Amino acid sequence: MAIQFNADEILGIAEGIEKNGQAFYRRAAEVAKEEGLEKLFLELADWEAGHEKLFAQMRAGITDEERSSTAFDPEGESELYLRATADAHVFVANKDAAALIKGKESGEEILRLALDFERDSILFFLGMRDMVPARLGADKVDEIVKEEMRHVAYLTQQLGILGK
C-alpha cells in the first residue's frame, strides 16, 4: 500500500513553513544594508504571516474525511515524516531560521537564499501532492503550491530590480 497523507497534515506543515519564513525575513530586515530592503523584507515577512493565516483558515475548513488518516498510524508517524521532510528542505525548523542570516550578507545574497527556500517549499509540496488523494484534499495542496509560486515570482522580480 502506498503512503498517503491527508490535507490536515500538509496544512499543518505549511503553517510551520510560513512561521519560519516570517522569522527569516524579520531577521533579514534587521541586517538589511541596501536602501529599501528593510521595507521589502518586512513586506515579505507580512506576506508569510498572511499565508500562515490563509493556511490556518484552510485547515479549519477541511472536512472530517480530509482530516482523517489514510492508514493505521497510532503514533502519528505520518505527520512526523512530513515534518522531518519539511525540516530537511525548507527553513530548517530544527534550527532558528533567522540564524541563517549572519548579518554580513548583501541584500542580493539574502534574496537568493529566500528564493532557494521558496523553491524548496514548492518541491516539498509538489512531492506531497501526489501522496494526498483527491478525496482527502489534494486541491488544498494545489492551493499551497500556487501561493508559493507567487513568492518565487515576487522574489525574482525583486532580484531584477535590485540588480539594476
> What CATH number did the domain enclosing 155 receive?
1.20.1260.10
- Supply the range of the domain harboring residue 12: 7-163
In the block, cell 490536515 appears at: 8
pLDDT at site 1: 45
Vertex 36 angle, CA 35 and 40, to 5°? 145
Cβ atoms 159, 110 nearer than 8 A: no
The model's pTM is: 0.78
> How many domains is the chain partitioned into structurally?
1
Mean pLDDT over 80-91 rounds to 66
Distance set, CA 164 to CA 63, 152, 160, 161 (Å): 48, 19, 7, 5
At CB < 8 A and 24+ separation, what contacts does 114-119 make?
Answer: 114/24, 114/25, 114/28, 114/44, 114/155, 115/152, 115/155, 115/156, 115/159, 117/21, 117/24, 117/90, 117/91, 118/148, 118/151, 118/152, 118/155, 119/152
Comparing 37-41, 66-70, 152-156, which segment has the lowest mean pLDDT? 66-70
pLDDT at 150 over 60: yes
pLDDT at site 156: 94
pLDDT over 90 for what percent of the chain? 20
44 occurs within a structural domain:
yes
74 occurs within a structural domain:
yes
Cβ atoms 132, 65 nearer than 8 A: no
30 occurs within a structural domain:
yes
2 occurs within a structural domain:
no
Comparing 35-44, 117-126, 144-153, which segment has the lowest mean pLDDT? 117-126
Mean pLDDT over 94-123 rounds to 83
